[in-house]
Chain A
Amino acid sequence: MGDPRNDNLASLSNMLNSLKEVESYIITDMEGRIHMASTENYDENTINSTIYLWVTGSRFGSEFNMGEPENLIYYLKTRKMLVQKYNEYLIILNLIDIAKFPVFKRKLYDLFNRII
């Protein structure tokens, strides 16, 4: 029998593929191991810096009594990214330029709720 976590990731991947705002995505764990990616052209530095930023946000949340971050908006002049925590994974989403973060997050959470 297959690992149910893989089934879960497969469902998640299908749902991410259906979102028009998503240009590409990488699903990684906190140690930076890639579990799924929509592209082979990912940059190791992006994963490294994402992990640093996530740990920084977690420590900041802990020291300022705000808890764990749920997501991180990574807004660059050249592109928009959203890093979303999902169980033990981090989903690094590259979004199209016209994507609106609040609208996209609502869509994403709706999809999460549909994954059993």
Chain B
Amino acid sequence: MNQLMSNIKNIPGVVGVVIFKDNGGLVAYDFPEAYDKNLLNRMGLKFQPIKEILPQEEGEIVYLCWEYEDLLAFYYPVGGGWVNIVSSDHIPMPVFSLTMTAVASKLPKLLEEAEVPQAQGQEQPAAVTAENTVPQEQLEKLEKFFATYLGPASAVIFKRAAHHLGYTLNNIPKDHLTDLLQGVIARVPGDKKDIVTEKIREMSINI
């Protein structure tokens, strides 16, 4: 694992590397000290649903790359996990591609063997624990309720409102339910908005 990390870190322009398992567990990292482990753990939780949300018919991702003012952030999926890399925008892409192809062939076996220890005193952020997320039955009930006003698009609108908040419908925290519903209500035709809001309140949901 260390050898692979070092191979990536040695690509000119690479600032930091972090490797995660498919479940969002942090396996290894080499980031400047200013970025602490809790920040990297939170990063894992945000990127973890990507494989799940991409439509099957889209095919496999080679990589995703967000371009900022002078930095790039890569998401590179491999079997069993993924690698996040932050680099300067002058990274030599042929070197990057060759290195990552080699990494992708070796990393799955290492990820399979890797144990992800829960650091002492480190709590999993509340957003992902089952008791803190909105139960699926409640979401299904709400989707059905909104279908009366939004038609068959209700499910898509729900999903989109969750994505707009940076979550999926599987991990939306209970304390974000109001934000989710406000996003959905915004799509209800104007003359029905008040009725919908009132009915939601009758379900004992603060809105």
- Spell out A's residues near B (CB within 8 Å): 30-32, 43-49, 51-53, 55-57, 59-61, 63-64, 66-79
> Nearest Cβ distance between residue A39 and chain B, in whole angstroms?
16
Query: Contact at B68–A52, with CB atoms within 8 Å?
Result: no
Q: How many A-B residue pairs have CB under 8 A?
A: 106
Identify A75's interface contact among B64, B69, B166, CB under 8 A. Answer: B64
A48 CB contacts on chain B under 8 angstroms: 53, 156, 159-160, 163
Query: Contact at A76–B62, with CB atoms within 8 Å?
Result: yes
B33-57 to A contact mask, C-beta < 8 Å, 1/0: 0010001001100110110011101
Identify A60's interface contact among B46, B54, B59, B164, CB under 8 A. Answer: B46
Report how far A73 CA is from B166 CA in the complex, Å. Answer: 19
Query: Contact at A52–B53, with CB atoms within 8 Å?
Result: yes
**B113 beta carbon closer than 8 Å to chain A:** no
Identify B156's interface contact among A44, A69, A77, A78, CB under 8 A. Answer: A44
- Measured CB to CB, the nearest residue on chain A to B43 is A60
Identify A56's interface contact among B47, B55, B62, CB under 8 A. Answer: B47
Report how far A57 CA is from B55 CA in the complex, Å. Answer: 19
By Cβ-Cβ distance, the 8 closest A-B pairs, closest first, are A78-B59, A52-B163, A57-B66, A45-B55, A66-B68, A69-B66, A73-B65, A75-B62
> Nearest Cβ distance between residue B155 and chain A, in whole angstroms?
10
The interface centre, meaning the residue of B35, B54, B67 with most chain A CB atoms within 10 A of its CB, is: B67
Given contacts A59-B46, A66-B68, A66-B69, contact A51 B86 (CB under 8 A): no
Identify A51's interface contact among B55, B60, B62, B160, CB under 8 A. Answer: B160
> Nearest Cβ distance between residue B56 and chain A, in whole angstroms?
9
**B61 beta carbon closer than 8 Å to chain A:** yes
Query: Contact at A53–B164, with CB atoms within 8 Å?
Result: no
Q: How would you classify the secondary structure of chain A's contact residues: helix, strand, loop or mixed?
A: mixed
Report how far A47 CA is from B35 CA in the complex, Å. Answer: 31
- Spell out B's residues near A (CB within 8 Å): 35, 39, 42-43, 46-47, 49-50, 53-55, 57-69, 71, 73, 86, 156, 159-160, 163-166, 168, 183, 186
B63 CB contacts on chain A under 8 angstroms: 73, 75
> Nearest Cβ distance between residue A30 and chain B, in whole angstroms?
7
Query: Contact at B68–A74, with CB atoms within 8 Å?
Result: no
Given contacts A71-B67, A75-B62, A78-B58, contact A55 B160 (CB under 8 A): no
Query: Contact at B67–A64, with CB atoms within 8 Å?
Result: no
Query: Contact at B55–A46, with CB atoms within 8 Å?
Result: yes
Given contacts A31-B186, A48-B156, A55-B166, contact A67 B59 (CB under 8 A): no
- Measured CB to CB, the nearest residue on chain B to A105 is B67
B163 CB contacts on chain A under 8 angstroms: 48-49, 51-52, 55
- Measured CB to CB, the nearest residue on chain A to B31 is A64
Query: Contact at B60–A56, with CB atoms within 8 Å?
Result: no
Given contacts A31-B160, A46-B55, A51-B160, contact A59 B166 (CB under 8 A): yes
A69 CB contacts on chain B under 8 angstroms: 66-68, 73
